[in-house]
Amino acid sequence: MALAASMNKFKSEMQETAARNLSHARPAASSGAPARTSTPQPGGNKRPHDAISTPPVVPTGKATTAGAEILGYMVYATQYLHEKFPEAVTLTDIVNYLSLPTELQKHHPVIRRALIDQERVSFTSAKESPTGKELFRYNPIHPVTNAEELKIYLSRLPNAKGILVKELKDGWPDCVASLSKLEAEHAILLTRNKKDNTPKTVHADNPAFWISPAVDKDFFEFWNKCKLPGSEVELRNELEKANLVPTSQVKEVKKGNMGRKEKRKVRRGGMKTTNVHMAGILRDYTKK
Protein backbone atom coordinates (compact mmCIF):
# COMPACT_ATOMS: atom_id res chain seq x y z
CA MET A 1 0.00 0.00 0.00
CA ALA A 2 2.83 2.39 0.84
CA LEU A 3 4.41 1.80 -2.60
CA ALA A 4 1.15 2.60 -4.41
CA ALA A 5 0.74 5.81 -2.40
CA SER A 6 4.26 6.92 -3.26
CA MET A 7 3.63 6.26 -6.96
CA ASN A 8 0.42 8.32 -6.97
CA LYS A 9 2.19 11.20 -5.21
CA PHE A 10 5.01 11.15 -7.80
CA LYS A 11 2.54 11.25 -10.73
CA SER A 12 0.68 14.20 -9.22
CA GLU A 13 3.90 16.16 -8.76
CA MET A 14 4.85 15.48 -12.40
CA GLN A 15 1.47 16.82 -13.62
CA GLU A 16 1.82 20.01 -11.55
CA THR A 17 5.34 20.59 -12.91
CA ALA A 18 4.19 20.15 -16.53
CA ALA A 19 1.32 22.59 -15.96
CA ARG A 20 3.68 25.26 -14.60
CA ASN A 21 6.05 24.87 -17.60
CA LEU A 22 3.19 25.28 -20.07
CA SER A 23 2.02 28.47 -18.41
CA HIS A 24 5.47 30.07 -18.84
CA ALA A 25 6.00 28.82 -22.42
CA ARG A 26 6.40 31.23 -25.42
CA PRO A 27 3.01 32.22 -26.84
CA ALA A 28 2.13 30.87 -30.25
CA ALA A 29 2.52 33.13 -33.28
CA SER A 30 -0.59 34.93 -34.49
CA SER A 31 -2.25 33.83 -37.67
CA GLY A 32 -1.36 37.12 -39.42
CA ALA A 33 2.40 37.01 -38.71
CA PRO A 34 4.54 34.57 -40.67
CA ALA A 35 6.03 31.72 -38.78
CA ARG A 36 9.71 32.05 -37.95
CA THR A 37 11.82 29.22 -39.25
CA SER A 38 15.44 28.61 -38.33
CA THR A 39 17.99 28.44 -41.09
CA PRO A 40 19.87 25.12 -41.01
CA GLN A 41 23.53 25.67 -40.13
CA PRO A 42 26.36 23.58 -41.54
CA GLY A 43 28.10 21.23 -39.18
CA GLY A 44 25.16 19.34 -37.69
CA ASN A 45 23.75 20.47 -34.34
CA LYS A 46 26.31 23.16 -33.59
CA ARG A 47 25.17 26.22 -31.72
CA PRO A 48 25.21 29.60 -33.52
CA HIS A 49 27.98 31.09 -31.34
CA ASP A 50 30.16 28.06 -32.06
CA ALA A 51 29.85 28.67 -35.78
CA ILE A 52 30.75 32.36 -35.35
CA SER A 53 33.80 31.77 -33.14
CA THR A 54 35.30 29.16 -35.48
CA PRO A 55 37.29 30.79 -38.35
CA PRO A 56 36.27 29.77 -41.85
CA VAL A 57 38.42 27.09 -43.49
CA VAL A 58 39.88 28.24 -46.80
CA PRO A 59 39.89 25.31 -49.23
CA THR A 60 43.28 24.61 -50.79
CA GLY A 61 43.72 24.04 -54.49
CA LYS A 62 44.23 20.61 -55.97
CA ALA A 63 47.69 21.51 -57.25
CA THR A 64 48.86 22.63 -53.79
CA THR A 65 47.56 19.47 -52.12
CA ALA A 66 49.12 17.27 -54.79
CA GLY A 67 52.45 19.10 -54.48
CA ALA A 68 52.61 18.47 -50.74
CA GLU A 69 51.93 14.76 -51.23
CA ILE A 70 54.37 14.38 -54.13
CA LEU A 71 57.25 15.86 -52.12
CA GLY A 72 57.05 12.82 -49.87
CA TYR A 73 57.76 10.55 -52.85
CA MET A 74 60.93 12.40 -53.86
CA VAL A 75 63.07 10.35 -51.45
CA TYR A 76 62.07 7.15 -53.21
CA ALA A 77 62.58 8.76 -56.61
CA THR A 78 66.13 9.79 -55.64
CA GLN A 79 66.88 6.26 -54.41
CA TYR A 80 65.61 4.87 -57.73
CA LEU A 81 67.90 7.20 -59.70
CA HIS A 82 70.82 6.23 -57.44
CA GLU A 83 70.25 2.56 -58.26
CA LYS A 84 70.09 3.37 -61.98
CA PHE A 85 73.24 5.55 -61.92
CA PRO A 86 74.98 6.31 -64.26
CA GLU A 87 71.98 5.57 -66.48
CA ALA A 88 69.49 8.41 -67.11
CA VAL A 89 65.75 7.69 -67.08
CA THR A 90 62.63 9.49 -68.27
CA LEU A 91 59.85 10.97 -66.17
CA THR A 92 57.51 8.16 -67.19
CA ASP A 93 59.91 5.55 -65.81
CA ILE A 94 60.07 7.38 -62.49
CA VAL A 95 56.28 7.69 -62.21
CA ASN A 96 55.84 4.00 -63.00
CA TYR A 97 58.38 3.07 -60.33
CA LEU A 98 56.72 5.22 -57.66
CA SER A 99 53.28 3.63 -58.25
CA LEU A 100 51.52 6.87 -57.43
CA PRO A 101 47.79 6.92 -56.64
CA THR A 102 45.42 7.65 -59.48
CA GLU A 103 44.69 11.22 -58.35
CA LEU A 104 48.46 12.06 -58.30
CA GLN A 105 49.39 10.54 -61.65
CA LYS A 106 47.67 13.41 -63.44
CA HIS A 107 50.03 16.00 -61.93
CA HIS A 108 53.11 15.32 -64.05
CA PRO A 109 54.20 19.01 -64.10
CA VAL A 110 54.37 19.03 -60.29
CA ILE A 111 56.46 15.83 -60.27
CA ARG A 112 58.77 17.22 -62.95
CA ARG A 113 59.37 20.47 -61.05
CA ALA A 114 60.00 18.61 -57.79
CA LEU A 115 62.64 16.40 -59.46
CA ILE A 116 64.40 19.36 -61.08
CA ASP A 117 64.64 21.12 -57.70
CA GLN A 118 66.30 18.10 -56.04
CA GLU A 119 69.99 18.63 -55.23
CA ARG A 120 70.99 15.03 -55.98
CA VAL A 121 69.19 14.96 -59.37
CA SER A 122 70.51 16.40 -62.65
CA PHE A 123 68.13 17.32 -65.46
CA THR A 124 68.72 17.17 -69.24
CA SER A 125 66.25 18.97 -71.50
CA ALA A 126 64.80 17.43 -74.63
CA LYS A 127 66.94 19.67 -76.86
CA GLU A 128 70.17 18.58 -75.18
CA SER A 129 69.18 14.93 -74.84
CA PRO A 130 70.40 12.51 -77.57
CA THR A 131 67.04 10.70 -77.45
CA GLY A 132 64.96 13.85 -77.78
CA LYS A 133 63.31 13.25 -74.38
CA GLU A 134 63.80 14.86 -71.01
CA LEU A 135 66.11 12.75 -68.87
CA PHE A 136 66.82 12.62 -65.14
CA ARG A 137 70.08 11.29 -63.71
CA TYR A 138 71.47 10.90 -60.22
CA ASN A 139 73.97 13.60 -59.24
CA PRO A 140 76.64 12.10 -56.92
CA ILE A 141 78.60 14.11 -54.36
CA HIS A 142 81.73 13.87 -56.54
CA PRO A 143 81.39 13.36 -60.33
CA VAL A 144 83.79 10.39 -60.41
CA THR A 145 83.03 6.89 -61.69
CA ASN A 146 86.48 5.54 -62.70
CA ALA A 147 90.22 6.02 -62.19
CA GLU A 148 90.77 8.49 -65.04
CA GLU A 149 87.94 10.74 -63.87
CA LEU A 150 89.39 10.63 -60.35
CA LYS A 151 92.83 11.86 -61.45
CA ILE A 152 91.32 14.68 -63.51
CA TYR A 153 88.98 15.66 -60.67
CA LEU A 154 91.78 15.74 -58.08
CA SER A 155 93.97 17.87 -60.35
CA ARG A 156 91.20 20.48 -60.59
CA LEU A 157 90.61 20.82 -56.84
CA PRO A 158 91.58 24.28 -55.53
CA ASN A 159 93.40 22.86 -52.48
CA ALA A 160 95.12 19.68 -51.27
CA LYS A 161 92.40 18.81 -48.77
CA GLY A 162 91.41 15.72 -50.74
CA ILE A 163 88.08 13.91 -50.66
CA LEU A 164 86.62 11.29 -48.35
CA VAL A 165 86.39 7.73 -49.64
CA LYS A 166 82.85 7.32 -48.27
CA GLU A 167 81.78 10.33 -50.38
CA LEU A 168 83.59 8.90 -53.40
CA LYS A 169 81.59 5.66 -53.04
CA ASP A 170 78.39 7.63 -53.65
CA GLY A 171 79.11 7.62 -57.39
CA TRP A 172 81.77 4.86 -57.48
CA PRO A 173 80.77 2.08 -55.05
CA ASP A 174 83.59 -0.40 -55.90
CA CYS A 175 86.45 2.10 -55.83
CA VAL A 176 88.61 0.55 -53.09
CA ALA A 177 90.44 -1.93 -55.33
CA SER A 178 91.19 0.76 -57.93
CA LEU A 179 92.41 3.15 -55.24
CA SER A 180 95.00 0.66 -54.00
CA LYS A 181 96.21 0.18 -57.57
CA LEU A 182 96.48 3.93 -58.16
CA GLU A 183 98.40 4.31 -54.91
CA ALA A 184 100.95 1.70 -56.02
CA GLU A 185 101.38 3.62 -59.27
CA HIS A 186 102.03 6.86 -57.32
CA ALA A 187 98.99 8.44 -58.99
CA ILE A 188 97.24 9.26 -55.70
CA LEU A 189 98.00 9.44 -51.99
CA LEU A 190 95.83 7.64 -49.44
CA THR A 191 95.38 8.06 -45.73
CA ARG A 192 94.11 4.92 -44.02
CA ASN A 193 92.19 4.12 -40.86
CA LYS A 194 94.38 2.72 -38.08
CA LYS A 195 91.78 0.19 -37.01
CA ASP A 196 91.35 -1.82 -40.23
CA ASN A 197 93.78 -0.10 -42.66
CA THR A 198 90.97 0.83 -45.04
CA PRO A 199 91.33 3.98 -47.20
CA LYS A 200 89.95 7.10 -45.55
CA THR A 201 90.85 10.06 -47.76
CA VAL A 202 92.23 10.47 -51.29
CA HIS A 203 94.76 13.14 -52.28
CA ALA A 204 96.44 14.00 -55.56
CA ASP A 205 100.04 12.86 -55.94
CA ASN A 206 102.60 15.00 -57.77
CA PRO A 207 105.93 13.50 -58.95
CA ALA A 208 107.54 16.93 -58.54
CA PHE A 209 107.49 16.39 -54.78
CA TRP A 210 109.27 13.03 -54.88
CA ILE A 211 112.75 12.79 -53.32
CA SER A 212 115.31 11.69 -55.88
CA PRO A 213 118.42 9.86 -54.56
CA ALA A 214 120.57 11.32 -57.37
CA VAL A 215 119.71 14.93 -56.49
CA ASP A 216 119.68 14.58 -52.69
CA LYS A 217 122.64 12.26 -52.22
CA ASP A 218 124.03 14.26 -49.28
CA PHE A 219 120.73 14.02 -47.48
CA PHE A 220 120.63 10.23 -47.85
CA GLU A 221 124.20 9.88 -46.59
CA PHE A 222 123.48 12.03 -43.56
CA TRP A 223 120.29 10.07 -42.85
CA ASN A 224 122.04 6.70 -43.04
CA LYS A 225 124.76 7.84 -40.63
CA CYS A 226 122.17 8.64 -37.98
CA LYS A 227 121.67 5.42 -36.02
CA LEU A 228 119.01 4.93 -33.43
CA PRO A 229 119.87 3.41 -30.02
CA GLY A 230 119.60 -0.34 -30.00
CA SER A 231 117.73 -0.66 -26.71
CA GLU A 232 115.70 1.40 -24.28
CA VAL A 233 118.65 1.65 -21.90
CA GLU A 234 120.84 3.23 -24.58
CA LEU A 235 118.03 5.57 -25.54
CA ARG A 236 117.63 6.62 -21.93
CA ASN A 237 121.35 7.28 -21.58
CA GLU A 238 121.44 9.37 -24.74
CA LEU A 239 118.54 11.49 -23.49
CA GLU A 240 120.20 12.03 -20.13
CA LYS A 241 123.44 13.12 -21.88
CA ALA A 242 121.41 15.73 -23.75
CA ASN A 243 119.86 16.90 -20.44
CA LEU A 244 116.45 15.58 -21.48
CA VAL A 245 114.08 13.78 -19.12
CA PRO A 246 112.97 10.38 -20.47
CA THR A 247 109.28 9.64 -20.37
CA SER A 248 110.03 6.33 -18.65
CA GLN A 249 111.53 8.05 -15.64
CA VAL A 250 109.59 7.35 -12.45
CA LYS A 251 108.22 10.50 -10.99
CA GLU A 252 108.59 10.96 -7.25
CA VAL A 253 105.35 11.62 -5.51
CA LYS A 254 105.67 14.15 -2.73
CA LYS A 255 104.04 12.82 0.41
CA GLY A 256 102.49 15.53 2.47
CA ASN A 257 100.75 15.42 5.81
CA MET A 258 97.97 12.98 5.02
CA GLY A 259 96.52 13.19 8.53
CA ARG A 260 93.24 14.83 9.20
CA LYS A 261 93.60 18.46 10.11
CA GLU A 262 91.75 19.51 13.23
CA LYS A 263 89.69 22.62 12.97
CA ARG A 264 90.81 25.46 15.18
CA LYS A 265 88.27 26.34 17.80
CA VAL A 266 87.35 29.97 17.75
CA ARG A 267 86.68 31.49 21.12
CA ARG A 268 83.58 33.56 21.02
CA GLY A 269 84.25 36.11 23.71
CA GLY A 270 83.36 39.72 24.17
CA MET A 271 79.80 39.24 23.03
CA LYS A 272 77.31 41.86 23.96
CA THR A 273 74.84 40.76 26.59
CA THR A 274 71.28 41.55 25.67
CA ASN A 275 69.40 39.89 28.54
CA VAL A 276 70.58 42.26 31.24
CA HIS A 277 67.33 42.01 33.12
CA MET A 278 68.12 38.36 33.88
CA ALA A 279 71.65 38.97 35.21
CA GLY A 280 70.72 37.81 38.69
CA ILE A 281 69.26 34.55 37.48
CA LEU A 282 71.69 33.34 34.76
CA ARG A 283 75.24 32.24 35.47
CA ASP A 284 78.28 33.84 33.83
CA TYR A 285 80.41 31.28 31.92
CA THR A 286 82.71 33.72 30.10
CA LYS A 287 85.63 33.11 32.48
CA LYS A 288 85.41 29.34 32.01
Top pLDDT among 245 and 138 is at: 138
Residue 280 scores a pLDDT above 60 = yes
- Residue 52 belongs to a domain: no
Q: What is the pLDDT of residues 117-152, one digit of tens each?
A: 888 999 998 888 888 889 999 999 999 999 999 999
- Residue 233 belongs to a domain: no
Cα–Cα distance measured from residue 32 to residue 38, given in angstroms and rounded to the nearest whole number: 19
**The last residue of a domain, from among 177, 209, 241:** 209
**In 3D, which of 227, 249, 226, 251 has the Cα closest to residue 236?**
249
Top pLDDT among 26 and 265 is at: 265
Cα–Cα distance measured from residue 182 to residue 170, given in angstroms and rounded to the nearest whole number: 19
**The last residue of a domain, from among 175, 209, 243:** 209
Q: What is the pLDDT of residues 90-110, one digit of tens each?
A: 988 998 888 878 777 777 788
Query: What region, left, alpha or beta, does residue 16 occupy, with left being phi > 0 and alpha being psi -120 to 50 degrees?
Result: alpha
- Residue 270 belongs to a domain: no
Residues 128 and 168 in one domain: no
Supply the range of the domain harboring residue 192. 147-209
Residues 170 and 199 in one domain: yes
**The last residue of a domain, from among 194, 209, 224:** 209
SS3 159: coil
- Residue 222 belongs to a domain: no
Residues 131 and 179 in one domain: no
- Residue 284 belongs to a domain: no
- Residue 250 belongs to a domain: no
Model pTM above 0.85:
no
What is the structure's pLDDT at 13?
73
Residues 72 and 129 in one domain: yes
Residue 51 scores a pLDDT above 50 = no
Residues 132 and 166 in one domain: no
What is the number of structural domains in the chain?
2
- Residue 271 belongs to a domain: no
What is the structure's pLDDT at 166?
93
Residues 121 and 165 in one domain: no
- Residue 223 belongs to a domain: no
Q: Which whole number is the average pLDDT over 180-193? A: 90
Cα–Cα distance measured from residue 231 to residue 18, given in angstroms and rounded to the nearest whole number: 116
Cα–Cα distance measured from residue 74 to residue 94, given in angstroms and rounded to the nearest whole number: 10
